[in-house]
Chain A
Amino acid sequence: MSVPAILEPLLDRLARRGTAGKTARSLPVDWRLSWTSYESSSIGVRDGQRASVHAPLTLGSGFALDYLFAWEDGRITTGAAERIAIADPDRFLELAHQAAYEDPDGANFAGPGRFAEIPLASEDVASDARSGGGAGFAALLAAGEAPMAPRGFKTWSGSISAGATLRGVLSSRGLDVRNASTHAGYSFWYEGLTGDAHGSRAPLATAEASERLDRACDLVQRLGAPERGFEGGTMAVLLHPKVAESFLSAYLLANIHGDRIHHGQSAFRIEQFGSADRVFAASLSLRLEPSVPMDTGSYRFTTEGVPARALSYVEDGRLVEPILDLKYARRLGRAPVPGPLSSDSLRLTGGRPMDEAEAIARAGRGVLVLSVLGLHTQDSTRGDFSISAPQTLAIRGGSLGGAVKAVLTGNFFDALRDPKLGLVAFPGFRMPGLLFTGSVGVDAEG
């Protein structure tokens, strides 16, 4: 794989430092370029209409660059650009020089490193990305539409996509790492309610999609039947894996970023990481696993050129490593720690492992929460939540019932501290669902 031709004029200028005489002022002494070149195809369905004018078959390609320059006077420049910005590399560098600022902790340039070889690309998906999907898209559309008639649904929406990406990081210190990856995915939902989304590095198997959609449509049908006479109160709350993932991201991951910790905007202090201080239930662990071949959560390096590696953010209820980019690693006197590419990179373990049927039986009286509104509006530092959950199913007598409109209130950190927290395996989801006791308000009619 060679460096994209788009970058060559800029790299040529950067290589001239030392021979450029008077123009050297506008040439950085150190630099890092993190580049991405991509092709993608997608198709949408809006309320049963395939490839309509508002969700058409789409083909696109592009190039994106994140850059960091350090200048002779020690100042640095950071930014993001597309091809238009670097078409004239002299102008680009001159403007970058004008945008320089002082940030000694920000001048970090990785050199050559050891990067695991992890296959992440499928030629078949890359071909779909270039060509508009073809037969693969048609088969997935058919799988998406299949539940409609037998289940008596009125509407469905969603999209299918295929993407091929080439990423790389280059630096003045000799770093030159790159990687090709692909991603195929679909997301379908029914009756304006829930559905299923799934992704893969390789072509998606239609049979697997059909199975997953079938399970999701069982839930959609239940959401269509209100549960009468179900009253709120303190009860078992079972967060579906999709919802658990959102909570984990909004509350736990958001609070272990180095910048938030350093600036006092996190629920945690840096001294807690690596200490004996137990902040969650004793068995709870959250690990990063970025090295599984062809896994959607895997990656080889961060945008700063830091090698991906398996590690623990939380182990046995203790904070182990915060997510640290190069700047905050330096500022906090620690080694850089990569973050997850997506929730597919994460492994949440511990609590009381159980399967879905066992969790519902154990819940007795409670709710299965399939989606929430307004999680992004919550104050994540406190851990408090007070959110609307209009797509929720009642659990009565240990069995799943019909729909209720619920309001969930509580504190997510308290839930993670609870030794009785259940981690619930749902078929087709790596992220477990979460079962805990919470406060549930229920609107008069579900």
Chain B
Amino acid sequence: MTLFTLAPALLDEARRLGVYAIVRQHRKRALGVSVQNGKVESVGASELGGAGFQVFTASGHTAFGYTDGFDESEATAALRRTAESAARAEGMLSVPDRAIFSAAPLVLDLPDPRAERFDALSLERLTAGAKSAHEETRALSSETRVSTNATVNREDWRVDRSDGTTASWSVPRFVLHHAVTAGEGGSVATVRAHLFSADYEALGDPVAARLLSERARGAVRKALGLRTAGRYPAGVYPLLIDYALAKGLAHEAFGHAAEADSFRSSVLASGGRFRSGERVGRESVGVIDEPVAGDHAYQPIGANGFRRERVEIVRAGVLHEALADIFSAGPGGVPAKGAERAESYRATPLPRMSNIRIELAEAAPLPRPFEEMAPEDVRDLVGASGLFERFPKIVFLSGYTGGQVNPVLGDFVFNCQALYELTPGAMTLYRPAIFRGSLLAALGSIERAFGPLQLDAIGTCGKWGQSVPSSGGSHGYVFLEPNESIGVGGR
């Protein structure tokens, strides 16, 4: 991208000052449309861009600086101040790190041709498409209120280092969310449906449009049903979770605890080092993180300019690899995987997930595509698998609305959109309830899966004040045996 011209001057200045520098240039542009109950409420555009630089003194003391825009003289002055700060950091008893001095340079450019279409985007078409999808969802019921948000964005990144590294990539994203609300007063329920694509024109693609329609239909059905749904009693149950919740489990429970910058306190580490080789699940269970092309969280190159690699956090039920950058790999006793991400040019890169999934060696087939599975179909699927013979009552959690983890304690919690009690020949809807517990207990309880991998559950992941796109999934449905350390909330 021609705007990214600062690196030569900044690296020259770093050389003159006797420091090593990582220069990260970033630009993000976005357009968004919001439609509420039939009316376009806002159409907005945003644009940000600038340069961040992390400098290292010869002894490995570091500081980070950034400036918005691409003015060479301002950026150079900011780099000088940052270098001075790196020198002063030693006086603040900072911890030096010289790992970057042994890095091998990378020269790689990975543009996405779909991102190039951003400049030609028609806001009118985006608005019309969002409105059409909105109206289609509104037409499903006269008893719901619908809010629709559609955004398109393009991110461009370039990372240059003092060792000659020049790495760049671009990411296009289209995201549409419906929020369907039903009920009034104390019986309001809101359920969401989404569509993600790396194609800005996704709404014009019949397959994507049908997928969104199916999800919207499911959201309306759930929202209407939840108006009168009761609470499910808290307790320990055999659980069936859909792939969106399984993504939540993989992300909240394992992903964060496997981020190597946290190993001095993570439950998946001991003495600061990853507990590689320890069994944490059945032999059939794996947890894998990797960049998936065209995905919401796609990042083929780490924010420090290293190729991002596949990470098998759990292989055949055993802890195997971690989400490590070049700085956390050595102390954590794991190989570097280029797993660092930054929210923007203003942020220091941290080891983060990209697309994370729980994958089992085998999965029973679904009778129809996931999006066409009604709760009754899920009950019948469970029945056909023989699970009711062991567990006459199974709790099915559907849809993910977010979660949180304390990787130090190993506690996780997340919430669903709806809870169903499945019994032979019956199915009852209840209000959403939290799914909480200990991450190791949860992984150890995974017993079987149904359906092919579905990896398009999306979200936003927060860590140390930075938010980045996240994604992942699992097989359509994952079954967990009852375990005293994992439970469903409620009353």
Chain A residues proximal to chain B, CB less than 8 Å: 43-44, 46-63, 77-85, 87, 95-96, 98-103, 106, 132, 137-138, 141, 155, 191-193, 259, 263-265, 267, 373-374, 376-379, 381-384, 386-388, 390, 405, 407, 409-411, 413, 439, 441, 443-444
- For the complex, give the distance between the alpha carbons of A102 and B39 in Å: 10
- Decide if A382 touches B81 in the complex (CB within 8 Å): no
Number of interface residues of B (CB under 8 A): 92
For A106, the chain B residues whose CB sits under 8 A away are 42
Would you list 9 pairs from A and B whose C-beta atoms are within 8 A, ordered by A residue? A50-B93, A56-B54, A56-B63, A80-B47, A103-B41, A132-B85, A388-B411, A409-B231, A441-B489
Q: Which positions 20-52 of chain B face chain A at CB distance < 8 Å?
A: 27, 31, 36-37, 40-50
Asked, given contacts A99-B123, A387-B489, A409-B489, whether A374 binds B85 with beta carbons under 8 Å apart, the answer is: no
Closest to A132 in B: B85
Asked, given contacts A50-B95, A80-B44, whether A59 binds B491 with beta carbons under 8 Å apart, the answer is: no
- For the complex, give the distance between the alpha carbons of A101 and B82 in Å: 43
- Decide if A265 touches B64 in the complex (CB within 8 Å): no
- Decide if B40 touches A377 in the complex (CB within 8 Å): no
- Listed residue (B92, B187, B408) with the most chain A CB atoms within 10 angstroms of its CB: B92
B97 interface residue (CB < 8 Å to A): yes
- Decide if A384 touches B431 in the complex (CB within 8 Å): yes
Partner of B434, one of A85, A100, A407: A407
- For the complex, give the distance between the alpha carbons of A98 and B120 in Å: 12
- Decide if B85 touches A264 in the complex (CB within 8 Å): no
For A388, the chain B residues whose CB sits under 8 A away are 411, 413, 434, 436, 489
- Listed residue (B88, B184, B414) with the most chain A CB atoms within 10 angstroms of its CB: B88
For B415, the chain A residues whose CB sits under 8 A away are 374, 377-378, 386
A interface majority secondary structure: mixed
Partner of B181, one of A83, A264, A390, A405: A264
- For the complex, give the distance between the alpha carbons of A48 and B85 in Å: 20
Asked, given contacts A141-B92, A264-B37, A377-B434, whether A382 binds B186 with beta carbons under 8 Å apart, the answer is: yes
- Decide if B68 touches A50 in the complex (CB within 8 Å): no
- Decide if A46 touches B261 in the complex (CB within 8 Å): yes
- Decide if B190 touches A379 in the complex (CB within 8 Å): yes
- For the complex, give the distance between the alpha carbons of A386 and B434 in Å: 6
Distance in Å from the Cβ of B172 to the closest Cβ of chain A? Answer: 18
For A377, the chain B residues whose CB sits under 8 A away are 401-404, 413-415, 434
Q: Which positions 109-128 of chain B face chain A at CB distance < 8 Å?
A: 123, 127
Asked, given contacts A377-B401, A379-B432, whether A43 binds B68 with beta carbons under 8 Å apart, the answer is: no
- Decide if B187 touches A409 in the complex (CB within 8 Å): no
Asked, given contacts A82-B50, A101-B40, A192-B409, whether A374 binds B66 with beta carbons under 8 Å apart, the answer is: no
For B443, the chain A residues whose CB sits under 8 A away are none
Partner of B62, one of A48, A56, A387: A56
For B41, the chain A residues whose CB sits under 8 A away are 103, 259
Distance in Å from the Cβ of B306 to the closest Cβ of chain A? Answer: 14
Asked, given contacts A57-B89, A81-B47, A101-B40, whether A383 binds B403 with beta carbons under 8 Å apart, the answer is: no
Q: Which positions 408-452 of chain B face chain A at CB distance < 8 Å?
A: 408-409, 411-415, 431-434, 436
Partner of A56, one of B64, B412, B489: B64
- For the complex, give the distance between the alpha carbons of A379 and B431 in Å: 10
B67 interface residue (CB < 8 Å to A): yes
Asked, given contacts A79-B44, A103-B42, A265-B147, whether A58 binds B69 with beta carbons under 8 Å apart, the answer is: no
Closest to B119 in A: A95
Closest to B68 in A: A62
For A57, the chain B residues whose CB sits under 8 A away are 62-64, 85-86, 88-89, 92, 94
12 A-B pairs besides A101-B127, A374-B403 with CB distance below 8 A are A51-B61, A51-B93, A53-B95, A56-B348, A59-B81, A155-B264, A192-B406, A259-B41, A265-B145, A374-B434, A376-B404, A381-B181
Question: Which 5 pairs, one residue from A and one from B, show the smallest C-beta to C-beta distance?
Answer: A192-B408, A51-B94, A377-B415, A47-B264, A84-B49
Partner of B92, one of A50, A80, A102, A191: A50
Partner of A99, one of B43, B328, B408: B43
- For the complex, give the distance between the alpha carbons of A406 and B309 in Å: 39
